[in-house]
A and B are shown apart, each in its own frame.
Chain A
Amino acid sequence: MASNIKLEVVTPTGAVLDTAAEWVSAPGIEGEFGVLPEHRPALVMLGGGAVRYGGPRGEGTVYIRGGMAEVGPDRVLVLADEAVLPGDDDRKAAEGLLHGVDEALASQQFIDDETFTRLSVDRAFAEIQLGRR
């Protein structure tokens, strides 16, 4: 039995994380989900929020802004639109993003599903960095 999961977080601007983990939890677009070794293969759309993982060397977090995860028995590959490690996060950028989301919501009377999903992903990404979640 594979006792470890290889967790990779990749963004268009490079790999953010590549580590071994015993468990991984990630924010799916339809809710948080957890992965243990020997998980059934899956493709999951991700929302905004924190990918958390735990392993022999302790636990960790990565904040992501939407994306997709490919889950296999011994690996989790997260393809994120944007990802930051705690400590590298930029409060100003997050506040700016949140402000932009609020403005977009206030300025439009009708919002289609796609825009709404994108805005809520952005909001989650901003809020988790600001510690409001």
Chain B
Amino acid sequence: MPSLKAIRKRIGSVKNTRKITRAMKLVSGAKLRRAQNAMQELKPYAQKHRDLLRTLAAQLGEGGEPPHPLMQARERVRRVAILALSSDRGMCGGFNAGIQRKLDRYVRERSSEVEQIVVFPVGRRIGLYTRKGKTEVGREFGEILGATSNENVRLITGTLVRGFLEEQFDEVLILRNEFRSALSQVPVIERLLPITAETAGEAAVEEQADVLYEPSREALLGYVVPRYVEVQVRHALLESIAGEHAARMNAMSNATDNASAMIETLTLQMNRARQAAITKELMEIIGGAESMK
């Protein structure tokens, strides 16, 4: 049995750990709320872009030809780009491990049909992981925290769109944690490019009569389509960030509970050790007194 002093020291250290995890939980909670707000604020903008895309694409795509190069599906998919999102820091449970597993599984499953899979990591964790792995890494976009600024979203989207248009890739996917709720984040892979009829929605929008287009429908579609991709990327980033904070909040909440449980056990142990020490001392005194008789 460890000494009384050693147990006291351990309790002290576990208490300190609990202070840290509790603080981290509170901080993550506040950040989660902010991230959710950002998601909420993007919503009307995103919704409107989806509607406009549907309307414009439906009108232009009547001839059977896809109305925009980014909506053109390639006959044979040879090269795939994956934009993989993770967090920058750990301490968030299985958040990053899930992404890594999903990436590995996907690469294993698809590697027989496609010639090349290139990963574009956003977030330090996945960046470190892909650097060690066997998959080819395209451009690294650094940390996810700064990635939601206008400039960075444009940079990421621009790189992927250019790659797609120049036929470096035939398909562009996003791998990220889907924010189902504050308790559940699930790694998913979604297609970003080409934009297909399902993603853009069927032509359910009836044409408004007599709408003035300036400068032209084609030009407007040319503006809306890349913006739509940008919105998708931004949404994925925000969702991943919200998921990260939620995951960290849960992880830290569990850690705090575990620390409390451990403190309880240790306190019990400490009391027992103290009791034992007292008993031992008494026994010694009694023993000494007996022998004096």
Q: How many residues of B are counted as interface, with CB atoms below 8 angstroms from the partner's CB atoms?
A: 25
Q: Which residues of B contact A29 (CB under 8 A)?
A: 214-215
Minimum distance in angstroms from A122 CB to a CB of chain B: 11
**Interface membership of A103, Cβ < 8 A:** no
Please determine whether B215 and A45 come into contact, CB atoms closer than 8 angstroms.
yes
Contact with A along B200-214 (1 / 0, CB 8 A): 000000001011111
Please determine whether A45 and B219 come into contact, CB atoms closer than 8 angstroms.
yes
Beta-carbon contacts under 8 Å, B31-79 to A:
38, 41-42, 44-46, 48-49, 52, 56
**Interface membership of A40, Cβ < 8 A:** yes
Given contacts A40-B210, A79-B48, 15 further A-B contacts (CB under 8 A): A10-B44, A12-B45, A12-B150, A13-B42, A15-B41, A28-B214, A41-B210, A41-B211, A42-B212, A42-B214, A43-B52, A43-B56, A45-B219, A68-B224, A79-B45
**Interface membership of A44, Cβ < 8 A:** yes
Q: Which residues of A contact B223 (CB under 8 A)?
A: 45, 68
Please determine whether B234 and A12 come into contact, CB atoms closer than 8 angstroms.
yes
Q: Which residues of B contact A68 (CB under 8 A)?
A: 52, 220, 223-224
Kindly list the 10 A-B residue pairs having the minimum CB-CB distance in the complex, ordered from nearest. A14-B41, A42-B212, A44-B214, A41-B211, A10-B45, A12-B45, A43-B213, A10-B44, A12-B42, A41-B208
Q: Which residues of A contact B234 (CB under 8 A)?
A: 12
Bound Cα distance from A68 to B56, whole angstroms: 13
Please determine whether A81 and B48 come into contact, CB atoms closer than 8 angstroms.
no
**Interface membership of B231, Cβ < 8 A:** yes
Listed by A's residue number, 24 A-B pairs whose Cβ atoms lie within 8 Å are A10-B44, A11-B45, A12-B42, A12-B231, A13-B38, A13-B41, A13-B42, A14-B41, A14-B42, A41-B208, A41-B210, A41-B212, A43-B52, A43-B56, A43-B211, A43-B213, A43-B220, A45-B215, A45-B219, A45-B220, A68-B224, A70-B48, A77-B48, A79-B49
Q: Which residues of B contact A15 (CB under 8 A)?
A: 41, 44
Minimum distance in angstroms from A110 CB to a CB of chain B: 17
Beta-carbon contacts under 8 Å, B75-119 to A:
none
Bound Cα distance from A74 to B208, whole angstroms: 15
Minimum distance in angstroms from B236 CB to a CB of chain A: 13
Bound Cα distance from A82 to B219, whole angstroms: 20
Q: Which residues of B contact A81 (CB under 8 A)?
A: 150, 227
Bound Cα distance from A42 to B217, whole angstroms: 11
Interface residues of A (CB under 8 A from B): 10-15, 28-30, 33, 40-45, 68, 70-71, 77, 79, 81-82
Q: Which residues of A contact B231 (CB under 8 A)?
A: 12
Decide: A30 near B215, CB < 8 A? Known: A10-B48, A43-B52, A70-B52.
yes
- Interface centre among B38, B208, B212, B231, by most A CB within 10 Å? B212
- Interface centre among A10, A29, A30, A33, by most B CB within 10 Å? A10
Minimum distance in angstroms from A113 CB to a CB of chain B: 11
Minimum distance in angstroms from B281 CB to a CB of chain A: 69
Minimum distance in angstroms from B239 CB to a CB of chain A: 14
Q: Which residues of A contact B45 (CB under 8 A)?
A: 10-12, 79
Q: Which residues of A contact B150 (CB under 8 A)?
A: 12, 81-82
Beta-carbon contacts under 8 Å, B238-289 to A:
none
Bound Cα distance from A129 to B52, whole angstroms: 29
Q: Which residues of A contact B214 (CB under 8 A)?
A: 28-30, 33, 42-45
Q: Which residues of A contact B210 (CB under 8 A)?
A: 40-41
Q: Which residues of A contact B46 (CB under 8 A)?
A: 12
Q: Which residues of A contact B44 (CB under 8 A)?
A: 10, 15
Q: Which residues of B contact A11 (CB under 8 A)?
A: 45
